[in-house]
Amino acid sequence: MGFLKKLKDTFSSKQDNDYYLSGLSKSRTSFASKLKRLGSGFKGVDEDFLEELMIILLEADLGIETAEKIIRGVESKAIETKAKSMDEVNDILFEEMQTLYNSFEDEEFKFNEDGPTVILMVGVNGSGKTTTTAKLANKFKNEGKSVLLIAADTFRAGAVDQLKRWADRIGVDCVMGKNNADPASVIVDGCRQAKENGNDLIIADTAGRLQNKVNLMKELEKMHRVIDREIPEQPAAVWLVIDATTGQNGISQAREFTTATDVNGIILTKLDGSAKGGIVISIRNLLGLPVKYVGLGESVDDLKEFDIDSFIYSICGESDEE
């Protein structure tokens, strides 16, 4: 059985697959239909074919380095298997994307057994950080966790109120930082409140400024230090929010964060508004970090756990365009 067919079978058996399909419809329409057009004139895997395929990958935002890696893989596998049709090449291509994604080891996110677990949300302003913080709170609350939000992004006027409004709607507590307050001090207040209340999970909306790396590093170090003091030996997870529509630019911003602190995972937002879903593969190849969740819309439920197979099927499966 071909690779795409296998993906389709597992995909059909999964819950939430409609979400993936509709959230990624822009990427699918663009990517799958371009592959279909390329396949309509298929004469074999030669230089011209690989060049056209490269363009499709670049347009899907895989970035040069990642696209070249995939192309090299497709070329050698196509020669090895003597691929004679576009369906066979597609199977090779999709499997290369999966293999690349799965070639990194990921650490699983675990809840602390004693004391609250802390997640620090980082990312540039406008990436969807505040909305994603709320979406996560909602998800974990629905799974039975008692969640406390900390609005520590005290530099953007309105960010704190925005998170508080979300917290009220979702029905979780929120510790609010005052305008321009030191984010670390807001985090201390939050940790203390969570310990008093016996919360399972603290999610803190933090540093949103793209500033110089030294300051960013100091700010994040300070946050880690105070958390370590308040909740000893329970390192905070750091999840970086990236706006998928900012493409390769978003990846350079991400680098600023990953070199400033240990980031444990990526949340890619606004994939529903982007035709360039290939950024997932690029992020993975360039940063080596797992995509934990994807944002597929503006409402509080539009956050889905990332799953590489569902993702590949949703952008590569049958095109909606006939």
C-beta neighbour count of 313 within 10 angstroms: 26
Amino acid in the structure at residue 195: K
Q: What are the Cα distances from residue 313, in Å, to 11, 163, 173, 184, 278? A: 7, 34, 38, 42, 12
Is 209 among the annotated ligand-binding positions?
yes
Question: Are the C-beta atoms of residues 170 and 137 closer than 8 Å to each other?
Answer: yes
- What residues between 52 and 71 interact with ligand GTP by CB under 6 A? none
Q: Quick one: tokens of 156?
A: 């953007």
131 contacts ligand GTP (rule: CB under 6 A): yes
Bridge partners of 151, per DSSP, are 176, 205
Q: Binding marks (x or -) toward ligand GTP, 104..123, rule CB under 6 A?
A: -------------------x
- What residues between 257 and 276 interact with ligand GTP by CB under 6 A? 269-270, 272-273
153 contacts ligand GTP (rule: CB under 6 A): yes
In the chain, the N- to C-terminal Cα span, in Å, equals: 24
Is 269 among the annotated ligand-binding positions?
yes
Helix (H, G, I), strand (E, B) or coil at 321: coil
Q: Quick one: tokens of 190?
A: 């939050």
Is 10 among the annotated ligand-binding positions?
no
Spatial distance between the Cα atoms of 273 and 316, rounded to a whole number of angstroms: 17
Smallest gap from Cβ 134 to ligand GTP, in A, equals: 8
250 contacts ligand GTP (rule: CB under 6 A): no
For ligand GTP, the closer CB: 44 or 126: 126
Smallest gap from Cβ 271 to ligand GTP, in A, equals: 7
Q: Binding marks (x or -) toward ligand GTP, 202..241, rule CB under 6 A?
A: ------x---------------------------------
Spatial distance between the Cα atoms of 14 and 27, rounded to a whole number of angstroms: 20
- Total interface residues for ligand GTP by CB under 6 A: 21
Q: What are the Cα distances from residue 15, in Å, to 21, 101, 307, 317? A: 12, 22, 12, 17
For ligand GTP, the closer CB: 85 or 252: 252
Smallest gap from Cβ 140 to ligand GTP, in A, equals: 17
**Which stretches of the chain bind ligand GTP, using CB under 6 A?**
123, 125-131, 153, 156, 159, 208, 269-270, 272-273, 295-298, 302
Binding residues for GTP: 123-130, 205-209, 269-272
Binding residues: 123-130, 205-209, 269-272
